[in-house]
């Protein structure tokens, strides 16, 4: 299952998404688009993590947790999308 705990997990997960994309070539563009969107969210998460480390603010830490949850929800959607695509062949 694709999931991240922090922004440093993204490269591994992105590699797995690319593997998924290759198994369903007809939906490659859609998966790529969603992957790029998640990449943007990960960039925002990375910036929040830096801010959380420098300020040690509880609200920023909570924002990081919310962003991780949002990213993981998007990753679940990609997995569901991939499963539907594989089953519809």
Q: Evaluate whether residue 80 is within a structural domain.
A: yes
Tally of domains within the chain: 1
- In this prediction, residue 22 carries a pLDDT of 82
Q: Is the pLDDT of residue 77 over 80?
A: yes
d(CA 9, CA 5): 7
pLDDT digits (tens, 9 = 90+) for 40-74: 999 999 999 999 999 988 999 999 999 999 999 99
Q: Which residues contact 12 (CB under 8 A, 6 or more apart)?
A: none
- Residue (of 74, 76, 53, 75) closest to 64 by Cα position: 53
Report yes or no on 8 lying in a domain.
Answer: no
Please report which confidence band the pLDDT of residue 32 belongs to, taking 50, 70 and 90 as the band edges. confident
**Average pLDDT of 9-25?**
88
Range of the domain at 58: 30-89
């Amino acid at each position: 299952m694709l999931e991240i705990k922090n922004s440093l997990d993204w490269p591994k997960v992105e590699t797995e998404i690319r593997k998924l994309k290759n198994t369903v070539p007809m939906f490659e563009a859609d998966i790529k688009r969603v992957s790029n969107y998640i990449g943007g969210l990960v960039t925002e998460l990375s910036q929040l993590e830096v801010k959380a480390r420098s300020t040690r603010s509880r609200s920023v830490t909570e924002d990081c947790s919310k962003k991780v949850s949002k990213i993981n929800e998007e990753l679940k959607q990609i997995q569901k999308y991939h499963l539907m695509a594989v089953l519809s062949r």
